[in-house]
Amino acid sequence: MNLKVLLPNEVFMDREVTKVTAEAQNGYFCLLPRHVDFVAALVPGLLSFEDEDGREHFLAIDEGALVKCGPEVLVSTRSAAADGDLGQLRHVVEEQFEVLDERERLARSATARLEAGLVRRFMEFDKPR
């Protein structure tokens, strides 16, 4: 299988693998070369894969989507990190990706306040004088 990890601005990884394990909202799953085509929404966490030599590698990924179509496995995510140390990758997931989630929550809150203010002003504009 060919595993390709896509970030918004680059191809993070593109390599031949024999197995992919990732985590979706309902738990972990494993893909092997003859697995049926598959789509999953990924949660922030670790994605593991085995190379053709049987060695296991790990990536820390943010939330995203995984699509398996034939021999291609495409993972699209906002950010990813690779490190030889599994403990360090877990640390990256906990700190870096959860900080991004907090920033996103704050941005959504600010956007909601702006939208509510805009709706209020439109309603005031529509009132007869």
Domains of the chain, start order: 2-126 (2.60.15.10)
For the stretch 40-89, pLDDT in tens is 999 888 899 999 999 999 998 888 999 999 999 999 998 888 876 677 77
Where do the H-state alpha helices sit in the chain?
86-92, 98-126
> What sign for the dihedral angle of Cα 124, 125, 127, 129?
positive
For the stretch 105-114, pLDDT in tens is 777 778 888 8
User: d(Cα 67, Cα 24) in Å, to the nearest integer?
Assistant: 12
What lies within 8 Å, CB to CB, of 31 at 6+ separation is 1, 19, 20, 21, 22, 38, 68, 73
Please report the pLDDT score of residue 104 as a whole number: 73
**This model's pTM is above 0.85:** no
